[in-house]
Amino acid sequence: MAKIRFSKGELKKQRDALKQYRRYLPTLQLKKQQIQMEILRQHTILREEQDKAAVAMADTVKWAGLLSEKGVFNNEWVRPKHILKNFKNIAGVELPVFEKCEFGAAEYDLFTAPLWVDAAIEGLRAITALREEIKVLEEGVAVLRQELRVTTQRVNLFEKVKIPEAEEAIRRIKIYIGDQMANAVGRSKAAKRKIEMAFAQEAIV
């Protein structure tokens, strides 16, 4: 605990600080709860997209071997040119949101290319988009976990340090001021008795 001054000014300062801590704490606790819920939601979405990607990959096995045919398939057709993301605010946290992958035009001879090329392009682009979405979801979960760690630290700081310290400081200052007032009253009464005794002695004389 920081050194405190035993004065009425310090008492007011500590009371104001305690009031502020108690006002901010519920906001931090709510933020912590919202982030925890969003992490669970993001994990659910992440598992769903991972399952979709696994199914899509299993489907490509049927014709994956054909991709090795020389001069038939170009990997550039399924490499994204742009990955578009947006952001949403969750409890004050800017969370990345996957929008879509943009691919360049797949230019090939429709008359000479095998029939499976169209399906391969569509399937692999879908897998690529799912993988990019999974990356963005993982990025979002990492952002949320970091914010949860910071928010939890702040909640603990308020709950376990700042509020107890302010309460203890107020208690000690009140005791000190109370003792000072009691001593002052005692001294006042003693002085009054001395004055009264002096007057009494003068009256006798």
Mean pLDDT of 4-30: 92
Domain count, the chain: 1
State the Cα angle at 90 between 87 and 94, rounded to 5°. Answer: 40
pLDDT of residue 3: 78
Take residue 197 and report the two structure tokens written for it.
């005794």
Q: Is residue 129 in a domain?
A: yes
Q: Is residue 88 in a domain?
A: yes
Which residues, 6 or more positions from 174, have their beta carbon under 8 angstroms from its beta carbon?
Answer: 11
Provide the phi-psi class of 203: left if phi over 0, else alpha when psi is between -120 and 50, else beta. alpha
* Structural domain boundaries, residue 62: 8-167
Distance in angstroms (rounded) separating the CA atoms of residues 186 and 148: 55
Q: By the 8 A CB rule, do 80 and 101 touch?
A: yes
Q: Is residue 197 in a domain?
A: no
Asked if residue 2 has pLDDT above 80, the reply is no
Q: Is residue 198 in a domain?
A: no
Q: Is residue 188 in a domain?
A: no
Indicate which CATH number applies to the domain containing 44: 1.10.287.3240
**Lowest-confidence range among 46-50, 97-101, 120-124, 164-168?**
120-124
Q: Is residue 33 in a domain?
A: yes
Q: Is residue 106 in a domain?
A: yes
| Residue 27: count of CB within 10 angstroms of its CB | 11
Q: pTM for this one? A: 0.78
| Residue labelled with tokens 């405190």 | 4
Asked if residue 185 has pLDDT above 70, the reply is no
Higher pLDDT, 161 or 190: 161
Higher pLDDT, 73 or 68: 73
Q: Is residue 1 in a domain?
A: no
